[in-house]
A and B are shown apart, each in its own frame.
Chain A
Amino acid sequence: MKVGIKSYSYCLNHAPETGSHYGGTPYEAFHSGKEQEFLDALPKHLQSYDSARHYAPNQTYIGGISYEEFEALPSGWVNNPLPDEKANRYGKFGEIMPEDEFLGLISACDEFELVWLEKSFAEAVSAKLAQDPVITEAIVKRVVRPKNMHELAEIDTEVKDRDGLYLYHDGKPVGCVRSGHPTDQCLTAHVLLENLAGKASGVLALLHLLKNSGLDPKDLDFVIECSEEGAGDVGQRAGGNFAKAIAEVAGCVNASGCDVRGFCAGPVNAMINAAAQVASGARKNIAVVAGGSIPKLFMNARDHVKKGLIALEDCVGSFGVLLVPDDGTMPVMRLDVLGKHTVGAGGAPQAVTSALTFEPLQAAGLTFADVDRYAPELQNHEITEPAGAGNVPLANIKMIAALAVMKKAIEKSEMMNFIKKHGTIGYAPTQGHIPAGVPFIGPACELINEGKIKRSMIIGKGSLFLARLTNLADGASFLIEAPEKVEAPATVSKDDIKAMILEVLGEVAGKLA
């Protein structure tokens, strides 16, 4: 059972000022009152929008450069910015949106007068957003709705007297997010900022997905959203539904949607959910979409600042994938063999790796070397290594190679070659759900379409224990393959039929004679 991967989108929203105030680590540092030195130093470690656009992993994420071009670059990307011609705002998959426009988009996604922008700022960003090829006229107009535009004095009052949070641009307040309720901790200005930013970045990913696929928004059947945010109120802290809220802004009037969660394994589980619904015929098509995470911005910045490095975690990341019935013309996702980390499998890396790679491959009658590229977890190691978290994609492919040796699929002496040939280099922002395999769906499909690879495995792993409900981790995986060409049915021409009739008539005439 297979479904077609029709198109994909990957977007970044540069958000250094929002992140340095409201990212989980800086926000916690601010409230603890004990880390003023870190908070004072952080702004000196931020990179400009221009630098973020020239940063090779960011361009790889949005499809500004191909994965193969990225792989060929020397390491130390931060010190080797891309040339201007490779550093455009728009790539094949999506875009890197500047922070002021992102604030405008967040405001456009607000239905409850929760986001106020200063009038002249709102008008300026509305005009800029109008230049974006995927931003609709309706969205541009929403940025300048009178109810969302206020004087700075009113914004000051909202922050100082009613628990609002300032939004900043060029170091100055340009708006605020208001508190949604006087006592409900699920509707504080901080939670609402996270959720509205997740929604807005998800909208951007869906708009690019629709553009890349050529699908009329009205023809989208269903959306499954798979970020890590929780939208709700005190009665249901993560009731949802991001998917439908995103579809509404994108003009998908005939779509419905729901959310799927599972920490970093969420997107892979969402893909499996969506594919199963499309393959069964329950839905005509499904967009799997995830907005990005404000809390993950500058998550490792303490270490980056301490080591005198640029704090690179300044982009909210989002993605979208459109699944449709398999017609033999596009890369497919297989549903007959899925990696599943069971409750009883245990948490040892060996058990997890076996459940996600060896077991589904064995079920498919394949071996380790039959997968051209493994995409386990694509964290950018230039971010994680200084924070003591190592090179995650490399560690993962090493585990897969070691398991291949144990299962006698390759010789031990071939391990390094296997790692180089079948591994992937991480380029994704550390946005939690985003690094977990899914950024490679786009590049894998491109490589398949170019005939350079036949098969890729997408793997997601989630740290469920962070929620304090279970000590278990989670994991899921699936295979993407080249389409099997559908044989055209044999056709018979008019001349053939004529010849056949004449032949039969000739035989009959002969018998009569």
Chain B
Amino acid sequence: MDLQNQQRVKDAGEKYGTDCVVILGSSDAEGAEIYAETVTAGDPTYAGPLAGVSLELPVYHVFDPIIRAECDPAAWEEQISMMEMVLDPDALAEAVKGMREQYSKDVIEE
């Protein structure tokens, strides 16, 4: 996660605590996992503002069924459905879930 986005997430996390939900849109499972780790346990690369900072934010991939259910179906169809065909939605959601289950607090109740 680039340094500017880490700072934005850090600012929001410090202001709202774990009421702040992070939704990732990464197209790559490995990247999604690192981003999820960054906003929960801290920046694993120790390069950015979240190095050593455990925000423990609830984090989801946009393809997680919980998030999908929250979305306006028309907007989903218009903005996201094409990428749903291109990417592997289950693998992406699972990659983020793994980190969430280890490090997040106050996750959305299923």
Contact = CB atoms under 8 A, between A and B. Distances in A.
Interface of A: 346, 348-351, 353, 388, 390, 395, 398-399, 402-403, 405-406, 412, 415
Contacts of A403: 82
B27 A406 contact: no
B109 interface: no
B86 A395 contact: yes
B31 A402 contact: no
Top 8 A-B pairs, shortest CB-CB distance:
A402-B85, A350-B82, A348-B79, A398-B86, A402-B82, A402-B86, A399-B86, A403-B82
B78 A405 contact: no
Contact of A399 (B28, B78, B80, B82): B82
Given A350-B78, A350-B79, A390 B27 contact: yes
Contacts of B80: 348, 350
A406 B79 CA distance: 12
Given A346-B79, A395-B27, 10 more contacts: A348-B78, A349-B83, A350-B79, A350-B82, A350-B83, A351-B79, A390-B27, A390-B28, A399-B82, A415-B85
Contacts of B83: 349-350, 399, 402
Interface string B64-86: 00000000000000111111011
Contacts of A388: 28, 30-31
Contacts of B30: 388
Interface of B: 27-28, 30-31, 78-83, 85-86
24 contacts: A346-B79, A348-B80, A349-B82, A350-B78, A350-B79, A350-B80, A350-B81, A350-B82, A350-B83, A351-B79, A353-B82, A388-B28, A388-B30, A388-B31, A390-B28, A395-B86, A398-B86, A399-B83, A402-B82, A402-B85, A406-B81, A406-B85, A412-B85, A415-B85
A390 B28 CA distance: 8
Contacts of A346: 79
Contacts of A349: 82-83
Contacts of A351: 78-79
A353 B27 CA distance: 16
Nearest to A396: B86
Contacts of B28: 388, 390
A474 B39 CA distance: 30
Nearest to B85: A402
Contacts of A398: 86
A349 B87 CA distance: 12
Nearest to B81: A406
Contacts of B78: 348, 350-351
A346 to B, nearest CB: 8
Contacts of B86: 395, 398-399, 402
A328 to B, nearest CB: 38
A343 B83 CA distance: 21
A398 to B, nearest CB: 4
B88 to A, nearest CB: 11
Contacts of A353: 82
Nearest to B30: A388
A351 B86 CA distance: 14
Contacts of A415: 85
B81 to A, nearest CB: 7
Contacts of B27: 390, 395
A318 to B, nearest CB: 30
A390 B30 CA distance: 11
Contacts of A406: 81-82, 85
Nearest to A354: B82
B85 A405 contact: yes
Contacts of B85: 402, 405-406, 412, 415
A398 B80 CA distance: 14
B39 to A, nearest CB: 18
Contacts of A395: 27, 86
Nearest to A398: B86
A406 B78 CA distance: 10
A353 B85 CA distance: 14
A415 B86 CA distance: 10
Contacts of B31: 388
